[in-house]
Amino acid sequence: MDEALRRYDAGEAGRTELKLLVKELLKLLVAKAPGHAVEVRVPPYGAVQCIEGPRHTRGTPGAVIEMQADLWIALALGRISWLDARATGKVRASGERTDLTDLLPLINH
């Protein structure tokens, strides 16, 4: 992940690096907030379920957060706050427990 971060910071990240970063950062989110109450989607690279609470078993979950890769990476690295990211209108979040303020950043880089 270090090399992918270096390339990302240098503006040289391609699809492969973006995919790796998104997936690794989503794994860190799940490790920090295990559960199945919220689905975090970063299309087309990944989606995970996290945060304790009611589990859904079919169809669209009751709580969904979706955003593009660059925004997810910036949030996970602490380059933008959850509040500021939401204010951009580029985060789609619906349902309970979709405030990630207390979980971010995942790493400081």
The enclosing domain of 49 has a CATH number of: 3.30.1050.40
What pLDDT is recorded for position 12? 96
What pLDDT is recorded for position 89? 97
Residue with tokens 């689905």: 39
The tokens for 82 are 């959850």
- Please check whether residue 5 lies inside any domain of the structure: no
pLDDT reading at 56 higher than 80: no
- Please check whether residue 65 lies inside any domain of the structure: yes
- Please check whether residue 30 lies inside any domain of the structure: yes
- Please check whether residue 13 lies inside any domain of the structure: no
**Portion of the chain with pLDDT greater than 90, in percent:** 87
What pLDDT is recorded for position 53? 87
49 is in which domain, residue-wise? Answer: 18-103
- Please check whether residue 11 lies inside any domain of the structure: no
- Please check whether residue 108 lies inside any domain of the structure: no
Domain count, the chain: 1
DSSP SS3 for 86? helix
Give CA–CA dist 64/38, Å, rounded. Answer: 6
* Mean per-residue pLDDT over the chain, rounded: 94
Tens digits of residue pLDDT in 14-55: 999 999 999 999 999 999 999 999 999 999 999 999 999 877
Single pTM value for the model: 0.93
- Please check whether residue 58 lies inside any domain of the structure: yes
- Please check whether residue 8 lies inside any domain of the structure: no
Q: Which residues does residue 92 pair with via DSSP β-bridges, in sequence order?
A: 66
Band (pLDDT 50/70/90 cuts) for residue 60 is: confident
